[in-house]
Amino acid sequence: MNHIEQLEKENLELRQQIELLKAEIKSLLKKLEKYEKPEKNSGNSSLPSSSSKNKKYYPPREKSGKKPGGQPGHKGHTKMLYANPDEIVELYPKKCSGCGNEHFINKNNILEQRQVIDIPEIKPFVTEYQQKTAICNHCGKRNIGEFPKNIAPNVQIGEKTTCLLGYFNVSHNISYERLTQIFNDVFNFEISKGTVDNKLKELSKNLKPQYENIVENLKKSDVIGSDETGIRINGKNAYQWTFQNKLNTFYTSSFSRAFQVIEDTIGRYFNGSWVSDRFGSQLKIKADHQFCLVHLIRECKYISQAEDSQWARDLKNFFQETMNFRQKLGDKFNR
């Protein structure tokens, strides 16, 4: 056998070995599939939706088996007519459709009502207080009228505007810059960022007793649900903490995610049920702990995906049935 024939033989043997190795690798990869863990996301874990690599990711909804749209027995909702309209336009026939006559009798019957709801022109309502003098007709002394104690010199922002600024800023997260733009464009009310900041600080100070009352009501309640989520404060990472029950909700911001925030707000002990997502700092408070069923359902989803676990699916279904039963029970008592 010459040198070329020897090389061709070795090449063929190597090709055969490569094919065998490919088949073996394919078989091993198939066996490893069941040990691979699925990626955690906001649909199968406690991770927030903002942590997903794909920001457009939404956890897939489980199929209910129902057809899309309104379900049989669902009552439709039609916008009700306002009982006391601000303006009424009466529409009478102009000419008789039979003979062309323009004079009619019995014109008070209403056949149908239609309404147009709109917002009138918005403009500031200005109240001017004029301090005046008067001469006493008995002794001749000159007297001066007194301003109400809450009326400051020159121009000030009224209480309703202050409340509206707080509502827009807190409930709808509208920035100072956009607030000034809204008030200028929509309300015809020129206002500066400095004024917005001052009025919000004033509002916060005035509401402090209400904040303290909410915290006291939470401390006396049977159940508190608590959570924390990441936010940005002046360009730095921080956390928005929430403490709530059925009637009260308290928010506080902190650069810390530690137990110290809970201790400063509620204390080291709570004589009731503490509902949380099992984050370490949440578990440090001395209380009867209840874990959030929604988070437990997500964890069961992950286990069933990672291990094809039937018990995890059964446990998830049990938690879901528990939530559904509680919802029906609540609806029954709220009727």
Q: How far is CA 155 from the centre of its chain?
A: 36
Distance in angstroms (rounded) separating the CA atoms of residues 59 and 38: 14
The one-letter code for the residue type at 41 is N
- Rounded to 10 deg, the angle between the 159-166 and 193-206 helix axes is 90
Residues forming beta bridges with residue 139, ordered by sequence position: none
Q: What is the pLDDT along the chain (335 residues), one digit of tens a residue?
A: 677 778 778 888 888 888 888 888 888 877 776 667 777 777 777 776 666 555 554 555 666 667 776 677 666 666 788 888 999 998 888 888 889 898 888 777 888 899 999 988 888 999 999 999 999 999 999 999 999 998 888 888 899 999 999 999 988 989 999 999 999 999 999 999 999 999 999 999 999 999 999 999 999 999 999 999 988 888 899 999 999 999 999 999 999 999 999 999 999 999 999 999 889 999 999 999 998 888 889 888 888 888 888 998 999 999 999 888 888 887 664 54
Query: Which pLDDT score, from 0 to 100, does residue 271 have?
Result: 94
Cβ 158 vs Cβ 170: under 8 Å:
no
Q: Token digits for 266?
A: 């509620």
Distance in angstroms (rounded) separating the CA atoms of residues 290 and 274: 6
For 242, residues 6+ apart whose C-beta sits below 8 A from its C-beta are 225, 226, 227, 228, 229, 249, 250, 251
Query: Which pLDDT score, from 0 to 100, does residue 32 have?
Result: 74
Name the burial class of residue 205, with classes exposed (0-12), middle (13-18) and buried (19+) by CB atoms within 10 angstroms of its CB: exposed
Size of the chain, expressed as the number of residues it contains:
335
Query: Which pLDDT score, from 0 to 100, does residue 106 have?
Result: 75
Q: How far is CA 9 from the centre of its chain?
A: 72
Cβ 254 vs Cβ 261: under 8 Å:
yes
What does residue 52 show for φ and ψ, rounded to 5 degrees? Answer: -65, 140
Q: State the DSSP code for 124.
A: -
- Rounded to 10 deg, the angle between the 208-219 and 193-206 helix axes is 40
Query: Which pLDDT score, from 0 to 100, does residue 174 have?
Result: 93
Query: Which pLDDT score, from 0 to 100, does residue 54 have?
Result: 56
**How distant, in Å, are the alpha carbons of 46, 299, 304 from that of 317?**
18, 12, 12
The full DSSP string for 231-285 is EEETTEEEEEEEEE-SS-EEEEEES--SHHHHHHHT-SEEEEEEEE---TTGGGS
Distance between terminal CA atoms of the chain? 97
Query: Which pLDDT score, from 0 to 100, does residue 58 have?
Result: 52
- pTM of the predicted model as reported, rounded to 2 decimal places: 0.60
Cβ 215 vs Cβ 266: under 8 Å:
yes
